[in-house]
């Protein structure tokens, strides 16, 4: 089979070996995930500021498309908390929530995000996500989790409150706290407490009754469905909607409609930056989950093809009444634990959600929004991890500063500013570290041909020869640092006649660094000192040979540092 076609359509690879056992396992996993996704999808649509049915719609076509184009066997694609929050933050600055324009803007944001992801995949730009360091991502997700939980308190209490950052939310909640609907608050608090208990206390209880791990896991996952059914029934039976309890209301009983995003240049221009940030954050979250689950079964994930799969999923969401989606952590873990063998499990999940959209939506008319808010709060608080501050402080003060700044900016200024700051800080942190590379003066370990740092080991050195090992590729940001380091070491030492750059850790030398090497060569020559290179890697040597640096080098290029030391005695 054509390998190019298989690479872009992974379904042709796993579909070829699909069998009855895989079908059985995928159907079981799909049933469990579908049960979990119904309340979760409704809740994330609420978080994004959209009608509840948008959550169902965003979980059908995207999953189907990812099954065709994605490479993960267990990743479940759909609305997730952080991306839903970013969607609400981006759109509320442009259009009024609840308006038709808001829904169209959500479609446009999904389409734009899909195009960005698709383009990145086709041009193999998956490495762009590496500019977000893990500590910064952890800080951003932690802060976002706090904001998401705070934003849902208005539904728990049955009051009106607005804000895109923690400060605004706290002020707004404080101003309206006197308007609390105590019936709503009772429902919300009980639902939240029940869901926390289900997560922590139900499994040990069921095990005491001798239930198997598999059945216990399934029952724990159905906790949200139980509380949804119980609170919906209570609101209906007691007529609580007439007493101020806000409910979901009428949800269209239909499959996802065919929709079109806006092609307005003005709107797309306003959405471009948020779409890019959502694409990057969504991809980072998705690929980390996919790779973690794939490693457990020794399967391979292609990051560039994942971009294509996620891009197709978002374009699908924009054409079927949805909003931006990505691979979710909780649903993917449930999918994996339930025994999903292939992406077909996702396709079966989409069928299940389609049936729910057609047949079950009348049953959620009286579903209180407080219950959906409780579902979101319990889900996102598991993402909050302030221990990253302690770990980063212990390991690296620079990482700690980046994490703390990301958390504070996200909490204080909102998710868009927070993630932008995270991207900027990740890049600046890299540039800062690489702009001052570790440069060690080395000497020979007695009785060996090895060379180590003179400050860490007892080594043999030659007063007339200084050997410096540069532990970083040389480029524009650190070239001058190397110049200064060599000048400071040699200028005050009249015994030095040779400087050897041990290049074993240098993987690349850009044009700026080459010009610095040329300047170093000239300055050392004026001091009566020769510049030599040792252990230059093949690709680096190939590039150096294209210019005139080697022909003007005052010294030699040695295959090994030991050879250089022997020749320069």
454 and 422 housed in the same domain: no
Tokens 């060379």 locate to 451
Among 428, 462, 479, the domain boundary falls at: 428
SS3 call for 518: helix
- Which letter does DSSP use for residue 364 in this model? G
Asked whether residue 433 is assigned to any structural domain, the reply reads: no
Please calculate the CA angle 508-512-517 and round it to the nearest 5 degrees. 80
Query: Which pLDDT does position 458 carry in this prediction?
Result: 93
Q: Which residues contact 433 (CB under 8 A, 6 or more apart)?
A: 398
For residue 434, being part of any structural domain is answered with: no
Same domain, 446 and 343: no
pLDDT of residue 214: 64
Spatial contact of 34 and 285, defined as CB atoms under 8 Å apart: no
Give me the percent of the chain exceeding a pLDDT of 70. Answer: 97
What is the pLDDT averaged over residues 175-202? Answer: 89
Question: Mean pLDDT in the chain?
Answer: 88
pLDDT tier, 18 (very low <50, low <70, confident <90, very high otherwise): confident
Residue 217: predicted pLDDT: 66
Q: What token pair was written down for 567?
A: 């020749």
Tens-digit pLDDT profile for residues 384-399: 888 889 998 999 888 8
Mean pLDDT of 351-365: 89
pLDDT at residue number 504: 93
Residues in CB range of 75: below 8 A, 6 or more apart: 66, 286, 289, 290, 293, 327, 332, 335, 343, 346
Taking only the tens place, the pLDDT of each residue in 210-265 is 776 666 766 676 778 888 889 999 999 999 999 989 998 888 888 899 999 999 99
Residues 363 and 446 in one domain: no
pLDDT value at 78 more than 80:
yes
Query: What's the pLDDT at 444?
Result: 93
**Token representation of residue 459:** 């080594």
C-alpha 392/C-alpha 511 separation (Å) is 35
CATH label of the domain that carries residue 485: 3.30.750.24
Three-state SS for 451? Answer: strand
Q: Are residues 459 and 545 in the same domain?
A: yes
Which is higher by pLDDT, 538 or 296? 538
Q: What is the pLDDT, as a whole number, of residue 162?
A: 84
**Domain boundary, last residue among 428, 454, 475:** 428
Domain assignment of residue 158, yes or no: yes
Quickly count: other Cβ atoms within 10 Å of residue 65's Cβ: 27
Lowest mean pLDDT among 25-34, 453-462, 497-506, 536-545: 25-34
Q: Are residues 347 and 443 in the same domain?
A: no
Domain count, the chain: 2
Reading phi first (left if > 0) and then psi (alpha if -120 to 50, else beta), residue 259 is in beta
Residue 512 pLDDT class (50, 70, 90 cuts): very high
**CA separation for the pair 375, 392 (Å, rounded):** 31
Angle at 505 between CA 502 and CA 508, to 5 degrees: 105
What SS3 class is residue 426?
A: helix
On whether the CB atoms of residues 494 and 526 are closer than 8 A, the answer is no
Q: What is the mean pLDDT of residues 174-190?
A: 92
Count how many residues are written for the chain.
569
Residue 557 lies in a domain: yes
Residue 271 lies in a domain: yes
Q: What is the DSSP string of 209-259?
A: TT--HHHHHHHHHTHHHHHHHHHHHHHHHHTGGGGT--B------SSPPP-
Domain check: are 117 and 12 in the same one? yes
Q: How sure is the predictor about 58, in pLDDT bands with cuts at 50, 70 and 90?
A: very high
* Section 348-358 average pLDDT: 91
In a domain, 191, yes or no: yes
| 1 has a pLDDT exceeding 60 | no
pLDDT category of residue 352 using cuts at 50, 70 and 90: very high
pLDDT digits (tens, 9 = 90+) for 97-149: 877 889 999 999 999 999 999 999 999 887 777 767 778 888 888 898 899 89
Q: Which of 371, 394, 428 is the last residue of a domain?
A: 428
Provide φ and ψ at 350, rounded to 5°.
-60, -40
DSSP 460: B
Residue 533 has pLDDT above 90, yes or no: yes
Residues 338 and 224 in one domain: yes
420 and 443 housed in the same domain: no
- The helix (H) or strand (E) run that includes residue 154 is helix 153-157
Question: Which runs of consecutive H residues, i.e. helices, occur in 452-510?
Answer: 479-491
Same domain, yes or no, for 463 and 328?
A: no
* Strand 465-470 to 439-444 pairing: antiparallel
- pLDDT digit string, tens, across residues 403-458: 898 899 999 988 878 878 877 887 888 788 888 899 999 999 999 999 999 999 99
CB atoms within 10 A of CB 382: 12
Q: Are residues 297 and 326 in the same domain?
A: yes
Element (H, E) at 533: strand 530-534
What pLDDT sits at residue 116? 96
Tell me if 304 sits within 8 A of 244, measured CB to CB.
no
Query: Do 219 and 173 have their domain in common?
Result: yes
Confidence of residue 534 (pLDDT cuts 50, 70, 90): very high
By mean pLDDT, which of 64-68, 289-293, 463-467 is the weakest?
A: 289-293
Same domain, 301 and 178: yes
Q: How far apart are CA 366 and CA 372, in angstroms?
A: 12
Cα 134–301–131 angle (5° rounding)? Answer: 30
Q: Tell the burial category of 545 from Cβ atoms under 10 Å away from its Cβ (0-12, 13-18, 19+).
A: exposed
Report which of 308, 248, 365, 395 is spatially closest to residue 119, judged by C-alpha positions. 308
What is the CB neighbour count within 10 angstroms for residue 428?
13
Domain that holds residue 395: 3-428
């Amino acid at each position: 089979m054509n390998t190019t076609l298989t690479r872009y359509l992974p379904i042709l690879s796993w579909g070829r070996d699909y069998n009855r056992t895989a079908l059985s396992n995928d159907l079981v996993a799909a049933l469990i995930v579908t049960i979990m996704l119904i309340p979760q999808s409704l809740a994330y649509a609420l978080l994004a500021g959209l009608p509840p049915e948008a959550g169902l719609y965003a979980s059908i076509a995207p999953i189907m498309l990812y099954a065709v184009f994605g490479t993960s066997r267990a990743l479940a694609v759909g609305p997730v908390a952080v991306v839903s929050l970013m969607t609400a933050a981006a759109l509320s600055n442009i259009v009024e929530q609840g308006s038709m324009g808001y829904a169209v803007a959500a479609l446009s944001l999904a389409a734009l995000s899909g195009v960005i992801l698709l383009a990145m995949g086709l041009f193999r730009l998956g490495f762009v996500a590496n500019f977000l360091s893990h500590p910064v991502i952890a800080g951003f997700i932690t802060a976002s989790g706090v904001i998401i939980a705070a934003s849902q308190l208005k539904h728990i209490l049955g009051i009106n409150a607005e804000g895109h950052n923690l400060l605004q939310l706290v002020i707004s909640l404080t101003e309206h706290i006197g308007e609390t609907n105590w019936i709503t608050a009772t429902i919300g608090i009980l639902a939240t407490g029940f869901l926390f208990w289900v997560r922590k206390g139900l499994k040990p209880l069921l095990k005491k009754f001798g239930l198997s791990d598999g059945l216990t896991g399934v029952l724990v996952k159905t906790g949200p469905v139980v509380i949804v059914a119980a609170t919906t029934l209570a609101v209906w039976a007691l007529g609580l909607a007439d007493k101020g309890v806000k409910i979901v209301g009428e949800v269209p009983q239909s499959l996802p409609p065919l929709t079109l995003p806006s092609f307005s240049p003005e709107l797309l221009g306003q959405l471009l930056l948020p779409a890019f940030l959502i694409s990057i954050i969504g991809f980072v979250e998705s690929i980390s989950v996919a790779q973690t689950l794939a490693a457990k079964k020794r399967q391979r994930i292609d990051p560039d093809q994942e971009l294509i799969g996620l891009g197709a999923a978002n374009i699908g969401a924009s054409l079927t009444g949805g909003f931006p989606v990505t691979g979710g952590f909780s649903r993917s873990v449930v999918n994996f634990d339930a025994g999903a063998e292939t992406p077909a499990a996702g396709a079966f999940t989409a069928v299940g959600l389609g049936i729910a959209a057609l047949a079950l939506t009348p049953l959620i008319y009286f579903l209180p929004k407080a219950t959906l808010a409780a579902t979101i709060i319990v889900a996102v608080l598991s993402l909050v991890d302030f221990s990253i501050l302690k770990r980063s402080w212990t390991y690296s003060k620079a990482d700690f500063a980046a994490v703390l700044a990301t958390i504070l900016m996200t909490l204080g200024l909102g998710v868009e500013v927070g993630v932008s700051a995270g991207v900027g800080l990740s890049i600046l942190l890299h540039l800062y570290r690489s702009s001052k590379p570790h440069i060690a003066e080395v000497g020979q370990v007695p009785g060996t041909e090895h060379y180590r740092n003179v400050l860490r080991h007892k080594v043999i050195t030659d007063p007339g020869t200084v050997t410096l090992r540069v532990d970083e590729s040389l480029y524009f940001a650190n070239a001058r640092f190397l110049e200064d380091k060599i000048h400071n070491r040699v200028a005050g030492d009249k015994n030095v006649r040779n400087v050897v750059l041990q290049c074993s850790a240098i993987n690349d030398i850009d044009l700026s660094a080459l010009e610095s090497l040329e300047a170093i060569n000239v300055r050392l020559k004026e001091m009566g000192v020769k510049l030599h290179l040792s252990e230059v890697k093949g690709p680096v040597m190939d590039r150096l040979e294209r210019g005139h640096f080697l022909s003007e080098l005052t010294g030699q290029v040695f295959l090994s540092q030991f050879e250089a030391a022997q020749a320069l005695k």
